[in-house]
Structure 1
Amino acid sequence: MTSYTDESAARTLIVRTARSLFGRGLTHGSTGNLSVRLADGSLLLTPTGSSLGTVEEAELSRTGPDGRHLDGPRPTKEAFLHAAFYRSRPGAQAVVHLHSTHAAAVSCLDGLDPANALPPLTAYYAMRVGTLPLLPYHAPGDDALEPLAERTARSHHAVLLANHGPVVAGASLEQAADAIEELEETARLHLLLRGHATRPLTPEQAAALAPASP
């Protein structure tokens, strides 16, 4: 498990990861937000209204574990989601939330299983994501979602927000980013295969690959 003891290095990592996600089309405009948990328990987050393609290290926000703003610009309006995941998952050191195209598209489909929005089409999805609960629609920034997110995060490190996008926690920022990218690729496969007979992994095969809990 990664512990972010050096705030300067953590800022560099957040910006590098943000640039990578934006540059590869995994988020757009001023959507998406990243955070890491520092060794003192405070959270370092991308600020509200920022683009992951242009955010700078000095522009990051810092909040307490309770979400209280400590310094820097105002944090993302979805900071409460990050705080909810950290409270529920003691091993999580990073959270990534994106509006990636294919995962967002899946989140708009009718008839999804709220307990698991995507089938385990590949071994890497089963390893990095596992099951993906669908949380009901709330407007962006609506903190009424916080208690539901906190309860769900106790047993799942990844969720899909209806008509919105995915949120993934990890033991490091690299792990969370890898998992959310795998989720996006599986969503793309799922949409490409609609109308075709598919053969997902069996429950036994998926369970054998289930990710360790961060």
Structure 2
Amino acid sequence: MSVESGTGAMRAEREAIVAAARSLFQRGLTHGSTGNLSVRAGEHVLVTPTGSSLGTVEADELSLIDLTGAHVGGPKPSKEAFLHAALLRARPRATAVVHTHSTHAAAVSCMDGLDPDDALPPLTAYFAMRVGRLPLLPYYAPGDRALGPAAEEKARTHPALLLSNHGPIVAGASLGAALDAVEELEETAKLFLLLRGLPTRPLTAEQRRALADPLN
């Protein structure tokens, strides 16, 4: 199927991306022109375009890339489209990627002394189920394609990543699953910051293992 002939067939995916974008924006999980979403569409990937706001982007404004991150149709994609392609390559069962600059997760990404292999403790069962362990990637400037290989390597074993001084990015088996995970990550980051300096009781290693998604 050509890119042109696939436009109509992608209508459902386009509308799903716009609905998810509106939801993220209206609930304050993105602001301004931050954040981007993508969904597999056959051999290609639909992704929000560069400079767009998730509060106003329209279905016909979405970009189309391939799994190398190359632009193949529509407006110019987000400068982080290559990152979406990297996660989808690393996770063949994933169909969607959500990246936000949500306030509390971004705040945690700026903190010193985090465990780079496990940036947030498993404070709730839902975090353990939907996110699992959260690796913290080193800082890269926005759009720096050197982030791609680092993200792809970590994403092979982790569906969610935290980008230092930036924010979270999550791959999911569906767009809904990716949205649930990125929201759970944000809520856990909020709890983590609220509880700083207080004694906490995270899930034990055994409790965490019992809740782990075997597909993650």
TM bucket, shorter chain:
over 0.9
CA distance in 2, matches of 1:122, 1:163: 24
In structure 1, the gaps of 5 or more residues are none
User: Counterpart in 2 of 1:24?
Assistant: 27
CA distance in structure 1 between the aligned counterparts of 2:80 and 2:167, rounded to whole angstroms: 12
Given candidates 143, 153, 163, the residue that maps to 1:151 is 153
For the aligned residues, what is the CA RMSD?
1.0
Structure 2 counterpart of 1:133, which letter?
P
| 1:123 and 2:125 are equivalent in the alignment | yes
Matching of residue 13 in structure 1 with residue 34 in structure 2: no
- Structure-2 residue corresponding to 1:196: 198
Q: Which amino acid aligns with 2:38?
A: S
The TM-score, its normalising length taken from structure 2, stands at: 0.95
1:170 pairs with 146, 169, 172, which one?
172
Aligned position for 2:74: 72
* Structure possessing the higher relative contact order (Cα contacts under 8 Å, 6 or more residues apart): 1
Q: Which ranges in structure 2 are unaligned for 5 or more consecutive residues? A: 1-7
Aligned pairs for 1:62-101 (under 5 A) are 62-101=64-103
How many Å separate the matches in 1 of 2:211 and 2:53? 35
Three-state SS of the structure 2 residue aligned to 1:198 is coil
2:210 pairs with 1:208: yes
1:210 is displaced (CA, Å) by 1.0
**Alignment pair present for 1:33 and 2:41:** no
Conserved in 1, the CA contact under 8 Å of 2:130 and 2:181?
yes
Kept in 2, the 8 Å contact 1:103–1:166? The answer is yes
TM-score (norm 1): 0.96
Q: What is the Cα deviation at residue 41 of structure 1?
A: 1.5
Corresponding position: 1:46 with 2:56 = no
- Deviations along 1:159-214, one digit per CA (max 9) or x if unpaired, are 00000000000000000001000000000000000010000000110111112326
SS at match of 2:191: helix
**C-alpha distance after superposition, 1:65-100 (max 9, x if no partner):** 111111111111001110111111110000000000
Show CA shifts across 1:109-164 (max 9, x none): 01000001000000000000000000000000000111111110110000000000
Indicate conservation of the 8 Å contact 2:67/2:86, yes or no. no
Cα pair 1:157 1:213 within 8 Å, conserved: no
Higher mean C-alpha displacement, 60-69 vs 126-135: 60-69
Q: Which runs of 4+ in 1 moved over 4 A?
A: none
Amino acid at match of 1:212: P
Give the Cα–Cα distance (whole angstroms) in 1 for the partners of residues 161 and 93 of structure 2. Answer: 17
SS in structure 2 at match of 1:143 = coil
User: Hey, what's the Cα distance between the residues in 2 that align with 1:174 and 1:154?
Assistant: 20
Of 93, 101, 104, the match for 1:102: 104
Supply the AA of the counterpart residue of 1:97. H
Secondary structure of 2:169's aligned partner: strand
Structure 1 vs Structure 2: percent identity of aligned residues? Answer: 69
